[in-house]
Amino acid sequence: MLRGDVQYLWCPICHSDLVVTVIKSIGNTIDEGYFACVNCSENYPIINTVANFLPSSVRDQFSTVEESELVKNLLPKDISIDHGTDSKVDNKTVRSSMHWSKQFGEYFHVEKQLLDSNSGFWCEKTYFEYSGIDKEQLEGSTVAIFCGGSGREGYHLGNAKTKKVIVLDIGDHINLLPKLYGDNAEKYILIRCHVALHPIKTKSVDIATCDHALQHIVDHRQVYREISKVVVEKGIISICVYSFENNFLMIRVGEPLKRILRFVPLKMLYYLCLVPASLLFISAAIIYWLSNRISPKSIERIPLNESLLLYYQSGFRTLWEVCFDLLQAPVSYHFTREEMIQFAEENNQTILKLVNTFSTTWSMVSTGKEVPSILEP
């Protein structure tokens, strides 16, 4: 994050201007410091280049004891300010934050080697298939990633010819991203916040995206509105979510099973997921073997064949993570095609693309500009 990056930000509580104080910098990048709201007196710390925009009244709910001490030592004052109901956070959101932090921060680190691969779930080609964004339209653009703390989206968008990439997430796994992004750090603004209470100014970015995350947010309609607000008038909104269509395994088996698994300790669930991961890996191996021996039309008849082959290309570890990801999520929702269209209609948007990607997720690209839409059956 650079000093000038404050142009994209305001106080998430009162939408007033911010003043940045730099305590330590690495080159042009702010390593330590804080933002101060000129109106409501709220302070937001910057630690290891990551800005924490969680209000002080709820910040400790998402922080370790060590993090809380760092914040207290960094800020000139850290007074809990009563901002009303807007600053309150529900228990499911707190639990979700803890779970995603465990997944990406401890159990399954996102590795650069996977991101640089030519095939599989983590590679650049697959990301752009899921997002529905054409890589060519990114040149010179400012992009906001909602719930991008795993690092995957930001890595591929940062390697494109983007001008600035803003990454938001509520979990502390976002603190791992400076290392992942390395020498490209000046391009990024890393923000820890609740995506429904974020600091990005209205109409300040060219593209806003949320990939594989909106289905895990309690009030996904509100967050979709927030995502839509940050783009300029002719900007692009890219959303990828679980589809209701073709997801019979998760809807009929996975989700009911989670009612029991939510009582299982997370570490135990981590190991339990080795069982379904092994079964899926064997199934994927069989489908891969058959794909070289029977017609493509026959392979297409096998349920979930596209997704299984995609994850199989990334190896067993990815299938293990997929099983953990699906079964640990405290909040999960599967969207119908009609609901995706309703998202756009409610926010006065035209759909440019709506595709059932890999037969398990909806990829929707929309804009406020009146242009012809492309709705694939």
Q: What DSSP designation does 103 have?
A: I
Secondary structure of residue 305 in the 3-state scheme: helix
Q: What DSSP designation does 139 have?
A: T
Average pLDDT for the chain: 91
pLDDT at 87 over 80: no
pTM comes to 0.93
Please give the average per-residue pLDDT across 88-110, as a whole number: 87
Please give the average per-residue pLDDT across 221-225, as a whole number: 95
Please give the average per-residue pLDDT across 136-146, as a whole number: 95
Q: How far apart are CA 40 and CA 50, in angstroms?
A: 22
Which has more confidence, 298 or 278? 278
pLDDT digits (tens, 9 = 90+) for 144-196: 999 999 999 999 999 999 999 999 999 999 999 999 998 788 999 999 999 99
What residues contact residue 122 under an 8 Å CB cut-off, 6+ apart?
110, 114, 115, 152, 314, 318
* The two structure tokens encoding residue 275: 């069982």
pLDDT digits (tens, 9 = 90+) for 342-373: 999 999 999 999 999 999 999 999 999 665 55
- Please report the pLDDT score of residue 85 as a whole number: 44
pLDDT at 92 over 90: no
Place of tokens 């996102």: 110
Residue 301 pLDDT level (bands cut at 50, 70, 90)? confident
- Please report the pLDDT score of residue 56 as a whole number: 87
- Find out whether 177 and 190 touch, Cβ atoms under 8 Å: yes
The second-level CATH assignment, the architecture, of 89-377 is 3-Layer(aba) Sandwich (3.40)
Q: How far apart are CA 66 and CA 120, in angstroms?
A: 37
Residue 377 pLDDT level (bands cut at 50, 70, 90)? very low
pLDDT at 326 over 60: yes
pLDDT digits (tens, 9 = 90+) for 6-17: 999 999 999 999
- Please report the pLDDT score of residue 175 as a whole number: 93
Q: How do 361-367 and 350-357 pair as beta strands?
A: antiparallel
Angle of helix 220-229 relative to helix 337-346, nearest 10 degrees, comes to 50
CA nearest neighbour of 185 among 63, 62, 321, 46: 46
Domain ranges of the chain: 3-88, 89-377
Place of tokens 């073997």: 289
Which has more confidence, 249 or 236? 236
Secondary structure of residue 203 in the 3-state scheme: coil
Element housing 232 (H / E): strand 231-242
Please provide the DSSP assignment of 253-318 as one string. IIHHHHHHHTTS-HHHHHHHTHHHHHHHHHHHHHHHHHHTTS-HHHHHTSTTHHHHHHHHHT-HHH
Q: How far apart are CA 7 and CA 139, in angstroms?
A: 20
Q: How far apart are CA 206 and CA 143, in angstroms?
A: 6
Residue 41 pLDDT level (bands cut at 50, 70, 90)? confident
Query: What's at 216, amino acid-wise?
Result: H
What are residue 208's phi and psi, to 5 degrees? -125, 135
Residue 81 pLDDT level (bands cut at 50, 70, 90)? low
Q: What DSSP designation does 273 have?
A: T
- Please report the pLDDT score of residue 142 as a whole number: 97
